Each structure stands twice: as structure tokens, then as C-alpha cells.
Structure 1
Amino acid sequence: ADRQYRQGVQDHVQHHDVQGDARRARDAVDGPEGKELRRAEEEGKRHSKGEDPQLDKKGS
């Protein structure tokens, strides 16, 4: 699963305008739909179970 994920990320970065995507996302957050995007982010956070506890383990 990890290998598939990494390959997918690498493929996306190589074949998409990542800088352009980031610029459009920033413009959306700063623009008229920003309020709605922030509200959606907060809603998603309410449903989150938090960080994976495995991330806190040292020396794994």
C-alpha cells in the first residue's frame, strides 16, 4: 500500500501543475469561497480521530 501511495504521489507531481494547483487553492481560500472552505475544514476536524498514536512512538 505504501509503495502504491508513493508511486501515485510521484506520478501526480511529475504530470500535474502542482505550483498552479497551490496558487489556485490559495486564491480560493483568500477569495469569496474562503469562508465556506474554512467551515468545511472545521467540520472535517470535528470528525477526525486525531493523529495516529503510532506516529508518537520513537525508534520503531
Structure 2
Amino acid sequence: MQKTNRANRAKKKEFFFKGKIADMIGIHESYIVNAVCFGYLLLFGILAKRVLQKQGIAIDEIE
């Protein structure tokens, strides 16, 4: 029984954000974390490209 308690304590310390979400709502539903992160990266890329174009930097032409 003691090994189980130690293992459980070790697992609890290793949880990351997605792991906590998976525990709360389920493993399949926790993939929304990935979708949100990729959506943020997409939005950042689009906005950064617009800012660079306003500054006269054509990102598509950089070699």
C-alpha cells in the first residue's frame, strides 16, 4: 500500500496543465488545449505578418 501512495504523490507532482485538464474533463476533451495553442500561434503569425508589412518588410520575399 505504501508504494501506491508514493507513486500517487509522485504523479501528482508531475502534472502539467494539460494533464490537469485531462483529469478534470477527460483525456479526449483535453486536446482543446492543443487547439487553443495552435490557434494562438496562427493568430500571432497573421498579426505579425501584418505588422511587418506595415513596416515595409515583405516576409514572403525573404530568402
Give the number of the structure whose residues are more often helix, by fraction.
2
Tell me the TM-score normalized by structure 1: 0.31
Compare CA radii of gyration and give the structure with the larger one: 2
Tell me the TM-score normalized by structure 2: 0.30
Give the structure, 1 or 2, with the largest relative contact order (CA under 8 Å, sep 6 or more): 2
